[in-house]
Structures are given as C-alpha cells and as structure tokens.
Amino acid sequence: MTEAPIGIFDSGYGGLTILHDIELRLPQYDYIYLGDNARAPYGTRSFDVVYDFTLACVRQLFSCGCNLVVLACNTASAKALRTIQQNDLPRINTHKRVLGVIRPTVENIGLYSRTGHVGILATQGTVQSHSYCMEIAKLFPDMKVTEYSAPMWVPLVENGEADGPGADYFVKKYVDNLLKADPQIDLIVLGCTHYPLLYQKIRRYTPPHIRIMAQGDIVADSLALYLDRHPELEQYCSKGGITKFITSENPRKFETLASIFMGRTVKAEHVDICVCGS
Ligand code: DGL
C-alpha cells in the first residue's frame, strides 16, 4: 500500500455534512469526496441497486488510491456496507477498509434520550432495512424506536431548494407525522446525511424540548478513534490537509451547491463511475 487520501462517499451532497466535521476534527489528513450525484437519490432504490452503485463508488475511490473509505451515507451503510466488508473486500484487497455511519450513531443514542423514546428520520431505504432498529436493540434493548421516512427531503437538497419556502411544507409534514406516531419522543436522529442541510427548518417545526441529533461530529470522533486503534492503516493515510472533490454529475453544478454547503469555494472534477461488472 502507498499513502493516499481517505475516501468519503455519499450518493450526493449529504456526505458533505460528515466531511465538514471530519475536516474540523482531523484536519491533518487528505480526503477525496465522491458524490454520485448523477444517480442520487439512493433512498428510494432497491437493495441490489444501492449495493451495485455503492460498490462501484468504493472501487472508484480505491482506484484513486484510497486505503480507507467512509460511507457517509446511511442508505449505503444500511444496504451495502456489510456485504462489501464481508464479501467484496476479501476479494478486492484485504488491507483496505470501508466504514459506515450507522453503528457510531447508534452508540451515541443512549446518551441523549431521557424518555427512552427515539425517532429516526431517514430515507425509505434505510427505514425499510430496519438497520437502526436492529442496531439500537442490540445496545439499548429497552428503547422504543419509531422510524419514519422523509422521501422529499433529499430531492429538496439535491435541487438546491433546502432553504426555499417550498421545503417548509415537507419538513413540517414529516416531523409532525413522526411525533404523532410517538408523542413521547425526546430525541430525533437525522439518519440521513442530507438532512442536516435542512436543520434550521427541522428545528423550527420541532418542539424545543426535543433534541435533534446529526451525525457529523459523531462520525468524526469515531473515525479519530478508529485511526488511533489502527496504526497499521493510519500510516497509509496521507497528511497534507487537502480535500479533492469528484462527482458523477456536472462538476460546475456540484461546485455551486457544494461551495454553499461547505462555506468555501469548492473545485470539483467529473468522474465516470462504471457500475457494470463491479
Ligand atoms: N445521504 C444519504 C443517506 O444518508 C442518501 C440520500 C439518498 O440518496 O437518498 O442516506
């Protein structure tokens, strides 16, 4: 292996919310962010399709040299991570690693709920996988979990409408429906990395006593811990403090929204991702 950036992958812009916190926590490393914007959203797609797309993107990041890839996408973590870790990595390269975002998020849930009633807002794919329910049941068996999908939120973000007045309707609708399903909820987990980009509106329509949990700082802390525990991999993570952005969509379009979301000028390159034969 040779030194290379850490790969950060999402279906689109959502993973930028994770990258932002990872850069703050671990500024010394290089990163390559891959947004598969041409195929987003993933959240409404079947297991097989999400797996094929995710594997193709992981392979793309490996071909850029990455030795460690973070799936900064709950849908991909729910539907593809385990198969990639168990079936694909042993064939592709036994030294490379792929990490997800669900387990570190769940490990923190117990810290933030007093009532033990937790609401998970996520994509249809993540909700249908029941990954959150299953992981929470392992660590916090007494917790009451209500999962609810918010399928319009990702398209709002991907189309640059997160701050637009049209977003209010769908933000209020999904928050109301979740709280109707369990009025005792005192913690809402944003189980999709796109959702923090709607945070202001989600906060506006959520009663103040309910805590809203995003994943960025949790995933960043968990990555820091992982690198500490795995010096054999950490030594192959290059340290120049540079982040490169690649997208399967038009790079100029990506740059416009990514610059807003990252709060700095982002330059991106187009990449063709080959899904066939992954
Ligand atoms: N941001 C992703 C997630 O965390 C996926 C959104 C999508 O493409 O539907 O689930």
**Residue from 57, 73, 274, 276 carrying the catalytic annotation:** 73
- Could you tell me if residue 276 is inside a domain? no
* Domain coverage including residue 153: 103-214
**Residue from 133, 192, 274, 276 carrying the catalytic annotation:** 192
254: exposed, middle or buried (C-beta count within 10 Å: 0-12, 13-18, 19+)? buried
Is 57 known to be catalytic? no
Best mutation site among 13, 74, 147 for ligand 1 pocket (most ligand atoms within 8 Å of CB) = 74
Give the distance (Å) from ligand 1 centre to CA of residue 94.
Answer: 27
Minimum-distance ligand 1 atom for the alpha carbon of 41: 8
Q: pLDDT tens track of the chain, all 278 residues? A: 899 999 999 999 999 999 999 999 999 999 999 999 999 999 999 999 999 999 999 999 999 999 999 999 999 999 999 999 999 999 999 999 999 999 999 999 988 899 999 999 999 999 999 999 999 999 999 999 999 999 999 999 999 999 999 999 999 999 999 999 999 999 999 999 999 999 999 999 999 999 999 999 999 999 999 999 999 999 999 999 999 999 999 999 999 999 999 999 999 999 999 887 54
Q: How many domains does the chain have?
A: 2
Report the pLDDT value the prediction gives residue 277, as an integer from 0 to 100: 55
DSSP string over 164-222: STHHHHHHHHHHHHHHHH-TT--EEEE-STTGGGGHHHHHHTS-TTSEEE-SHHHHHHH
- Could you tell me if residue 1 is inside a domain? no
128 and 204 share one domain: yes
Q: Is the CB of 37 under 6 A from ligand 1?
A: no
pTM: 0.96
Give the distance (Å) from ligand 1 centre to CA of residue 175.
Answer: 18
84 and 127 share one domain: no
63 and 156 share one domain: no
Q: Is the CB of 14 under 6 A from ligand 1?
A: yes
Look at ligand 1, atom 2, and give the residue with the nearest C-alpha: 73
CATH number for the domain spanning 116: value is 3.40.50.1860
Report the pLDDT value the prediction gives residue 207, as an integer from 0 to 100: 98
Give the distance (Å) from ligand 1 centre to CA of residue 231.
Answer: 30
Q: Is the CB of 42 under 6 A from ligand 1?
A: yes
94 and 228 share one domain: yes
Report the pLDDT value the prediction gives residue 278, as an integer from 0 to 100: 47
Question: Looking at 192, 214, 236, which one is the last position of a domain?
Answer: 214
Is 237 known to be catalytic? no
- Could you tell me if residue 277 is inside a domain? no
- Could you tell me if residue 173 is inside a domain? yes
- Could you tell me if residue 159 is inside a domain? yes
Question: Looking at 170, 192, 214, which one is the last position of a domain?
Answer: 214
